Structures are given as structure tokens and as C-alpha cells.
């Protein structure tokens, strides 16, 4: 099923000519209304009229998350506050949050893109959508909510937390679609098991999961434990919130980026040069319909590939590979780049090991240390020390083989690693406090 | 003949052992024998108790990682060389001892030692056919 046939299946040439037209309008608008862009374009020696093809986009300077922080709260808004009908903000664990304003038309477009996303994920009118994304400054809750309503599904605005009640509602209301972070879906399954609820037997059929990077192995685990199709959704609050891209249920192979609203590029994060389709690098997004806070060449810090081959679902919009990590999450351990998702994939390949883990990074003298905490469960536990040490050794060796990093494995008691109701906290980096 | 041993995973954190014994004590479960194997990060507490199924249940409820392992209790002559004769016998039958620990009390002139073998059934048949006394599980849990 496709929500908006006219736009979702546009031939590539039509997508690109629409993109160019909308890009040029956006550039004129930001140049005229946002001092930040006027300055940065001027510094680069470029005027909006110089952008004559999509290829010229690469001559424009990047916009960074730091630029958004520097313009806190409203500095990058291109529309006057009288036209802003909603304000969201990122969590901003360090320093000020990044603030995003939406005009009425922005909300309408966002709702449209979330509606497309729900339908691409195989949900429709008649579905009961259990929305466990947080409602509030975080974009997840309200973004999913509006899209679900537009599709005509029944939305349960659960928000995060209160897990036992979530399970009760899920059973009693007959929820068919779950929207939350991947780690929270597993936590729901775990609490269900403790409560004696067979979550596999509930009416849930699809999970639309996002807001944190997760591995293919984790998807298999979620699909098996909850007996659902787990669909990856992509978004970031700076650009829109959820619904920037989504996997279609037909292929579950890459996330379609809604190209009539965004122009994706992949760059080399070190040099900034644009990479050819198919090469791995940092995703850069330009918004071409946003009014409240249009972003030009925004560096998402997400690492992925872009590919434009037609999809079996019929959609023509380009796809990005599932995220292998956010460059922010990347740890440098003794000079080696390590993504938590890589360690996750190692753990998933060890029989019986559960997806609950935490990485503790520290510094011993001048040497970085990495400790991987893994929960022991009744499947991996043994009454013999040598068996447990064998488990530790296997994990350590597999990590060393894959990443070239030596780490310490600490087996910990079950349920001692904090469960998250939103984004899972996978890394504790104690080095930052010292430097 | 086999005895149910409770094995518990314990992180090396102060007070954790007392939490296990506290749970058992409160439920009226009596510990008959124990051994603690430890590494720098974690330990495995092995217990023989008077009601292993009940112990398993309450410990699981308190979210401990617990398993039940089959071990056997053997009467070993309480005299020099007593243990050696038993170990030699097992070696002749290619049974390996994974670990063992002793009861504090004696039965008659014999000490009681708990053994974990890689092949329990082979061990039982080897020992029985050579007249070594294996204690019935109800005897052990009621010592």
C-alpha cells in the first residue's frame, strides 16, 4: 500500500526537477530572512542564484548542530514567531537544547510524511496504534500521533514509562502497532515475561521503531520475541522528527528518504567532499519545504550509504542503509573507532546472550580502557567457573577479531543494567570528566 | 542417589552473599553444605539445602540467576588416604571431578564429600560397584 501515489512513485527526473525548484525557493527564502545563512553564503562567495543545478548544492557551506546551539533559541527561524504553531527541542544532555519551530504548513507536511511512513510500514485505517514514544519536547510522540490520525488509525497516546500499564492497555485495547525505541520494545517483552503475559500472542503485528541506532541482529531478536515485523524509522528533531525516512514492509531493506521534502547527500566526514551513491559516509540533509527552520546541508552525524535503485514496493525515493551508528556515538579507544552497534552485533552472535549491555570507557594512565558489561541469564549461567570464563573469553576474542580492540568483559547479574524507556544509554565514558 | 545442588551467580559486590542467605533464611530454608568459587568479578555459590525446589523458586523471585545441578554425596573413609582411593577409582573409570566440597559433619566414621562430575551416571555405577557408599539425597538434606 502507498499513501500518496502521486509523490511516492514520481520518476527520478521528476523528483530531481521538483527538488531543484524547491531548493532554489528555500535558498532565496533563507538568504532573505536568516542572517546566519546570508553570512555563511557570503563568506563562501555564493548567492542563491548561483545554484542552477542539484550538483551545485555541494558548493554551499554545511550547517552544524553547533550552529543551531549558537543561535539558541530562535536565531535560525526563517518565519516570524506569529507563524510558528509548535516548538520542539532536542534533549540537550550537554548544554542548551536545539530548538525547532514549525509553521502550520510544516506540521501539515510532517503529518503527511508520517502518514506515508505508517502506510509504508504496513499499517492503515483500522489499526490500533500504541504510541509509546515520549510526548513532550521530544518530537517522537506528537509526530507519530498526528501521522497515525491522518491515516485514520486509532491512536493510543501512551507516551513512555509505566511499563506494566502499557502491557495492560496493549492486551485490553488490542493494540496492533507499537511505536517506540527498539530497546524499549525489548524491555516491554521482558516485563511481559515477568508478568506471565505471552506478548507473542497479543494482536501486535508491527513495530515502528527508531530514535536510536540498532543492529540487524537486534531486529531479529525483536521480531522473534514480540512476534511482529520490526520496521526501522528514521528522523531527527533538527530536520523534522520521525518520518524523515522509513523502511517499507515489502523490502525491509533500506529506509526511503522522502525526497520531495529533503535532499540527502553522503559526504566524507573528514574532508566534507560528496561521495558517490553507494559509498559509506555521513548523511547530510537539506530541507526543501520547511518554513519554520529550513536547514541547508545539515550534517546529521549519522553514518550510512545512499542508494537510488528502484524498490520492489514501487516507491522511487532513494534509500539509506540502516544506520551503522552516529558519528557522535563513535568511541575512539586507543586510536580505534568503535561503534556501540558493532559490539552489539558481536554479543548477538553469542548464543544465549541478551541484548542488554553497557560499555564503560575509562583511562588508566594514558591508556583507554573499555569494559563491556554483559548480563548473565539462566541460559548462559553455569555452575562451573570455566564455562563462564569461556563465555567471557569468547566475547572478548570476537570483539578483538572484529574491531581490533582488547576489552575487559564483566559478567553482571541479570536486570542490573538500567532499562531505558526511551533511548538506551549504552556508553558511560568516564574519560570526559578528566580532560 | 543424585542430589540437587543450587548454583547462584553472584557479582563481587559487598553484601550480595548476605542477600542470598537472607532470602533463604527468611523462607526457612536450611543450608546443609556450601562452596563458593570466585573470580575477580563474580562468584558462583553452590548450596545443598533442605528444600532445593523451594530455594530455586524464592531465589528466582528475587531475580537471582539460579540453576540446579545434579551432584552426588559420597561417604569417604575419614582416615589418611581415604579420599585418594576414591579418586583413583574414578580416574580408572575416566570420570572427571569438576569440583568437590566437604560437609562439616561426619556419618559414623566417614566424612561426606559432595562431588560434581562430568559424567554423573558413570561415576555412580563405578562407585557403587566398588562398594563406595553414596548417600541418598534425603539423607544428605536432612543431615
A30-89 tens-digit pLDDT: 999 999 999 999 999 999 999 999 999 999 999 998 899 899 999 999 999 999 999 999
SS3 A8: helix
A379 contacts: CB under 8 Å, gap ≥ 6: A351, A352
Measured between its terminal Cα atoms, the distance across chain A in Å is 53
Q: Where are the domains of chain A?
A: 1-326, 331-429
What architecture is the A331-429 domain classified under in CATH?
Answer: 2-Layer Sandwich (3.30)
- With cut-offs at 50, 70 and 90, classify the pLDDT of residue B104: low
A-B contacts (CB, under 8 Å): 50
Residue with more model confidence, B113 or A279: A279
Percent of chain A scoring above 70 in pLDDT: 97
B32 touches chain A (CB under 8 A): no
Instruction: Please report the pLDDT score of residue A225 as a whole number.
Output: 95
- Residue B37 to residue A416, Cβ atoms within 8 A: no
- Residue B10 to residue A413, Cβ atoms within 8 A: yes
B130 touches chain A (CB under 8 A): no
- Give rounded-to-5 percent helix, strand, coil for chain B: 35, 40, 25
Name the nearest CA neighbour of A364 among A291, A428, A434: A434
pLDDT tens-digit map of A118-167: 999 999 999 999 999 989 898 999 999 999 999 999 999 999 888 999 99
Q: Give B12's contacts in chain A (Cβ within 8 Å).
A: none
Nearest to A385 among B39, B64, B66 (CB): B39
Q: Which residues pair with A156 in a beta bridge?
A: A130
- Residue B67 to residue A381, Cβ atoms within 8 A: yes
Instruction: Please report the pLDDT score of residue B13 as a whole number.
Output: 81
- With cut-offs at 50, 70 and 90, classify the pLDDT of residue A211: confident
**Would you put residue A37 in left (φ > 0), alpha (ψ -120 to 50) or beta?**
alpha
Q: Which residues pair with A299 in a beta bridge?
A: A284
Q: A383 to chain B, minimum CA–CA distance in Å?
A: 6
Q: Which residues pair with A282 in a beta bridge?
A: A267, A303
Residue of A nearest to B61 (CA): A194
Q: Give B41's contacts in chain A (Cβ within 8 Å).
A: 410-411
Pairing of strands B31-38, B97-107: unpaired
Q: Which residues pair with A103 in a beta bridge?
A: A84
Mean pLDDT score of chain A: 92
Q: Which domains does chain B have, with CATH numbers?
A: 2-69 (3.30.2130.10), 71-141 (3.30.70.260)
B67 touches chain A (CB under 8 A): yes
pLDDT tens-digit map of B1-17: 788 999 999 988 878 88
Q: Give A411's contacts in chain B (Cβ within 8 Å).
A: 9, 41-42
- Residue A383 to residue B41, Cβ atoms within 8 A: no
Instruction: Please report the pLDDT score of residue A220 as a whole number.
Output: 92
Q: A210 to chain B, minimum CA–CA distance in Å?
A: 30
Superfamily of domain A1-326: ANL, N-terminal domain (3.40.50.12780)
Nearest to B67 among A378, A411, A412 (CB): A378
pLDDT tens-digit map of A334-353: 777 788 888 888 888 888 88
Name the nearest CA neighbour of A114 among A304, A258, A315: A258
For chain A, list residues whose CB is within 8 angstroms of any CB belonging to chain B.
Answer: 376-378, 381-385, 388-389, 410-416
Instruction: Please report the pLDDT score of residue A327 as a whole number.
Output: 72
Residue with more model confidence, B141 or A356: A356
Q: Which of A255-269, A303-317, A414-428 has the lowest mean pLDDT?
A: A414-428
Instruction: Please report the pLDDT score of residue A92 as a whole number.
Output: 57
pLDDT tens-digit map of B49-93: 999 999 999 999 888 999 999 999 998 888 888 899 899 999 999
pLDDT over 80 (residue B139):
no
- Separation of alpha carbons A300 and B29, rounded Å: 58
Instruction: Please report the pLDDT score of residue A95 as a whole number.
Output: 61
Which helix (H) or strand (E) segment holds residue A67: the answer is helix A65-70
Neighbouring C-beta atoms of residue A78, cutoff 10 Å: 22
Instruction: Please report the pLDDT score of residue A94 as a whole number.
Output: 52
Name the nearest CA neighbour of A265 among A282, A250, A249: A282
- Separation of alpha carbons A378 and A367, rounded Å: 35
- What would you report as the CA-atom Rg of chain A, rounded to the nearest whole angstrom? 22
Which helix (H) or strand (E) segment holds residue A282: the answer is strand A281-287
Q: Give B52's contacts in chain A (Cβ within 8 Å).
A: none
pLDDT over 90 (residue B109):
no
Query: For residue A184, which phi and psi values (nearest 5 degrees)?
Result: -70, -30
Residue of B nearest to A194 (CA): B61
Instruction: Please report the pLDDT score of residue A420 as a whole number.
Output: 73
CA distances (Å), origin A381, targets A61, A85, A184, A351, A353: 54, 54, 25, 12, 10
8 Å CB contact between A169 and A84: no
Name the nearest CA neighbour of A212 among A184, A178, A247, A243: A184
Name the nearest CA neighbour of B82 among B110, B114, B116: B110
pLDDT over 80 (residue B142):
no
Which residue of B2, B3, B8, B9 is the best one to mutate when testing the A interface, meaning the one whose CB has the most A CBs within 10 A? Answer: B9
- Residue B7 to residue A414, Cβ atoms within 8 A: no
Residue of A nearest to B43 (CA): A385
Percent of chain A scoring above 90 in pLDDT: 71
Q: A380 to chain B, minimum CA–CA distance in Å?
A: 10
DSSP string, A317-382: S-EEPPP-EETTT-EEETTEEE-HHHHHHHHHTSTT--S-EEEEEEEETTEEEEEEEEE--TTT--
Pairing of strands A357-364, A427-429: parallel
- What would you report as the CA-atom Rg of chain B, rounded to the nearest whole angstrom? 16
- Separation of alpha carbons B100 and B69, rounded Å: 13
CA distances (Å), origin A309, targets A314, A316, A322: 11, 8, 16
- With cut-offs at 50, 70 and 90, classify the pLDDT of residue A435: very low
pLDDT tens-digit map of A369-386: 899 999 988 888 999 999
What value does the mean pLDDT take over residues A215-238?
A: 93
- Residue B63 to residue A414, Cβ atoms within 8 A: yes
Nearest to A381 among B65, B98, B116 (CB): B65
8 Å CB contact between B102 and B46: no
- With cut-offs at 50, 70 and 90, classify the pLDDT of residue B143: low
Name the nearest CA neighbour of A185 among A166, A203, A165: A166
Residue of A nearest to B99 (CA): A384
- Separation of alpha carbons A142 and B8, rounded Å: 45
8 Å CB contact between A408 and A372: yes
Q: Give A377's contacts in chain B (Cβ within 8 Å).
A: 65
Which residue of A383, A412, A416 is the best one to mutate when testing the B interface, meaning the one whose CB has the most B CBs within 10 A? Answer: A383
Domains A1-326 and A331-429 share a fold: no
- Residue B42 to residue A383, Cβ atoms within 8 A: no
Nearest to A383 among B10, B41, B44 (CB): B44
Q: In Å, how far from its chain's centre is CA A327?
A: 13
Instruction: Please report the pLDDT score of residue A434 as a whole number.
Output: 42
Q: B42 to chain A, minimum CA–CA distance in Å?
A: 7
Q: What is the DSSP letter of A63?
A: B
B35 touches chain A (CB under 8 A): no
8 Å CB contact between B20 and B64: yes
Q: What is the DSSP letter of A58?
A: G
Percent of chain B scoring above 90 in pLDDT: 42
Q: B93 to chain A, minimum CA–CA distance in Å?
A: 22
Dihedral, CA atoms, A390, A392, A396, A402, nearest 10 degrees? 80
B61 touches chain A (CB under 8 A): no
Q: Give A358's contacts in chain B (Cβ within 8 Å).
A: none
Instruction: Please report the pLDDT score of residue A432 as a whole number.
Output: 61
pLDDT tens-digit map of A4-30: 999 999 999 999 999 999 999 999 999
Residue A410: burial class (beta carbons within 10 Å; 0-12, 13-18, 19+):
middle
Amino acid at each position: 500500500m502507498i499513501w500518496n501515489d502521486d509523490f511516492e512513485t514520481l520518476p527520478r527526473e521528476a523528483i530531481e526537477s521538483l527538488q531543484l525548484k524547491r531548493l532554489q525557493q528555500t535558498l532565496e527564502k533563507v538568504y532573505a530572512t536568516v542572517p546566519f545563512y546570508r553570512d555563511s553564503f557570503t563568506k563562501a562567495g555564493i548567492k542563491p542564484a548561483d545554484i542552477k543545478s542539484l550538483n551545485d548544492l555541494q558548493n554551499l557551506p554545511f550547517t552544524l548542530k553547533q550552529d543551531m546551539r549558537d543561535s539558541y533559541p530562535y536565531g535560525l527561524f526563517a518565519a516570524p514567531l506569529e507563524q510558528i504553531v509548535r516548538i520542539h527541542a532536542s534533549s540537550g544532555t550537554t548544554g542548551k537544547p536545539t530548538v525547532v519551530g514549525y509553521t502550520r504548513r510544516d506540521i501539515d507536511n510532517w503529518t503527511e510524511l508520517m502518514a506515508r511512513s505508517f502506510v509504508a510500514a504496513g499499517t492503515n485505517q483500522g489499526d490500533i496504534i500504541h504510541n509509546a514514544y515520549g510526548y513532550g519536547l521530544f518530537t517522537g510522540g506528537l509526530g507519530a500521533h498526528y501521522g497515525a490520525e491522518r491515516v485514520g488509525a486509532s491512536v493510543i497516546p501512551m507516551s513512555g514509562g509505566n511499563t506494566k500499564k502499557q502491557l495492560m492497555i496493549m492486551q485490553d485495547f488490542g493494540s496492533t502497532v507499537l511505536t517506540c525505541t527498539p530497546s524499549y520494545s525489548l524491555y516491554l517483552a521482558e516485563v511481559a515475561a515477568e508478568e506471565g503475559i505471552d506478548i507473542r500472542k497479543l494482536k501486535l503485528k508491527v513495530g515502528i521503531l527508531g530514535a536510536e541506532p540498532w543492529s540487524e541482529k537486534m531486529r531479529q531478536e525483536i521480531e522473534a520475541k514480540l512476534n511482529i515485523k520490526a520496521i526501522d524509522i528514521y528522523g531527527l528533531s533538527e530536520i523534522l522528527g520521525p518520518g524523515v525516512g522509513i523502511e517499507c514492509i515489502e523490502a525491509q531493506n533500506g529506509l526511503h528518504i522522502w525526497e520531495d521534502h529533503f535532499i540527502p547527500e553522503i559526504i566524507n566526514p573528514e574532508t566534507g567532499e560528496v561521495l558517490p551513491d553507494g559509498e559509506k559516509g555521513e548523511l547530510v540533509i537539506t530541507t526543501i519545504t520547511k518554513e519554520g527552520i529550513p536547514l541547508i546541508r545539515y550534517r546529521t552525524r549519522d553514518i550510512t550509504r545512499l542508494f537510488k535503485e528502484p524498490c520492489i514496493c514501487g516507491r522511487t525515493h532513494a534509500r539509506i542503509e540502516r544506520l551503522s551508528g552516529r558519528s557522535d556515538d563513535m568511541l575512539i579507544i586507543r586510536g580505534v573507532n568503535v561503534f556501540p552497534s558493532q559490539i552489539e552485533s558481536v554479543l548477538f552472535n553469542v548464543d544465549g546472550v541478551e541484548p542488554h549491555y553497557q560499555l564503560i570507557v575509562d583511562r588508566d594512565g594514558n591508556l583507554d580502557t573499555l569494559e563491556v558489561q554483559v548480563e548473565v541469564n539462566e541460559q548462559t549461567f553455569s555452575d562451573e567457573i570455566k564455562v563462564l570464563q569461556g563465555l567471557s573469553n569468547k566475547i572478548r576474542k570476537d570483539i578483538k577479531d572484529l574491531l581490533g580492540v582488547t576489552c575487559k568483559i564483566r559478567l553482571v547479574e541479570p536486570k542490573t543494567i538500567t532499562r531505558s524507556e526511551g533511548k538506551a544509554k549504552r556508553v558511560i565514558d568516564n574519560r570526559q570528566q578528566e580532560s | 542417589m543424585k542430589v540437587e545442588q543450587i548454583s547462584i551467580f553472584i557479582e563481587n559486590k559487598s553484601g550480595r552473599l548476605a542477600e542470598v542467605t537472607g532470602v533463604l533464611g527468611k523462607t526457612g530454608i536450611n543450608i546443609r553444605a556450601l562452596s563458593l568459587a570466585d573470580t575477580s568479578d563474580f562468584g558462583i555459590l553452590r548450596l545443598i539445602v533442605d528444600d532445593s525446589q523451594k530455594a530455586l523458586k524464592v531465589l528466582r523471585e528475587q531475580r537471582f540467576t539460579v540453576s540446579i545441578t545434579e551432584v552426588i554425596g559420597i561417604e569417604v573413609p575419614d582416615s589418611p588416604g581415604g579420599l585418594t582411593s576414591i579418586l583413583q577409582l574414578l580416574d580408572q573409570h575416566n570420570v572427571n571431578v569438576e569440583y568437590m566440597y566437604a560437609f562439616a559433619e561426619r556419618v559414623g566414621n566417614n566424612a561426606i564429600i559432595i562431588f560434581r562430575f562430568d559424567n554423573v551416571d558413570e561415576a555412580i555405577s563405578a562407585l557403587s560397584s566398588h562398594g563406595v557408599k553414596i548417600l541418598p539425597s534425603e539423607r544428605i538434606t536432612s543431615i
